[in-house]
Amino acid sequence: MFRKVNLQWGLNILVKPGEMQFIELDIFKGQKGDSYNFNSRDYEIGLVILTGKCNVEIDGEMYNSIGARRNVFDGNAYAFYIPNNREVKIEALEPLEVAICKTKVKTDEEVKLIKPSDVVVRDVGVYNWRRDVKDIIDGRIKAKRLLIGETINPPGNWSSYPPHKHDTDNYPEEVRMEEVYFYRVNPPSGFGLQRVYTEEGDINEVFLIENDSLLLIDKGYHPVVAAPGYQLYYLWILAGEIRESVMYDDPKHKWLRAVEKIMKEAKK
């Protein structure tokens, strides 16, 4: 469920086929001149440039000098949506990290380049559970299963808060979707804490988040907090049979939604 990742040069397979029902995750880490080629086959893929610049070739079409960030806290990401059966080549122009977010599903949609200006940045929550949520592959992209984005917690702040879950199909109150978090901390010597729990109590765990940690979520509420003095980032990947993010708040903490509304109205 939770583990520390030690990224090596080359392809890093973080979520292997079969570990989750829907989601797989690789990270390609390259030095200048390194390249990685693959065919998307029967997957739809969200390609997120975490750091560095690269050339990307998809079925012979070139996208040159893609990427701008020195680190994941430095602005919005470049990304691609890639449907089935596309030939892809990634060539590093400098030290580079690319997240390859995958789910098996039949799709004949078009390739889509998402630029930093296309990313929707939402100011979510208030007080010490305020954070920036960045929607990269959302409802504007005609994907079949994937929803992908990034969240940045200011120092000391919480996210995925009030605690919510999405492990049961009970539309319109909740839709079951798996999720993966990949974390970074700024400065990287910092830490955060991740809790995962269920109302039944069969899961009740707290994990120490350090740079390059990974969480696989198929069940439970999952609030997360950054330690004071440190920003916390996570790439989040959602996928399920129904491509709709409908989350169910923990009834014990749902009252905070009303507090959010009151506090936001008071600021006007």
Per-residue pLDDT of the chain (268 residues; tens, 9 = 90+): 899 999 999 999 999 999 999 999 999 999 999 999 999 999 999 999 999 999 999 999 999 999 989 999 999 999 999 999 999 999 999 999 999 999 999 999 999 999 999 999 999 999 999 999 999 999 999 999 999 999 999 999 999 999 999 999 999 999 999 999 999 999 999 999 999 999 999 999 999 999 999 999 999 999 999 999 999 999 999 999 999 999 999 999 999 999 998 888 887 6
Rounded Cα–Cα distance for residues 66 and 92 (Å):
10
Indicate the pTM of the whole model.
Answer: 0.97
Nearest Cα residue to 203 out of 218, 193, 191, 187:
218
Amino acid at 3: R
Q: CA 234 → CA 55, 86, 140, 160, 180, distances in Å? A: 24, 27, 21, 11, 9
Length of the chain: 268
* Radius of gyration of the chain measured on its C-alpha atoms: 18
Query: pLDDT at position 264, please?
Result: 83
Rounded Cα–Cα distance for residues 234 and 67 (Å):
18
Token pair listed for 113: 């380049």
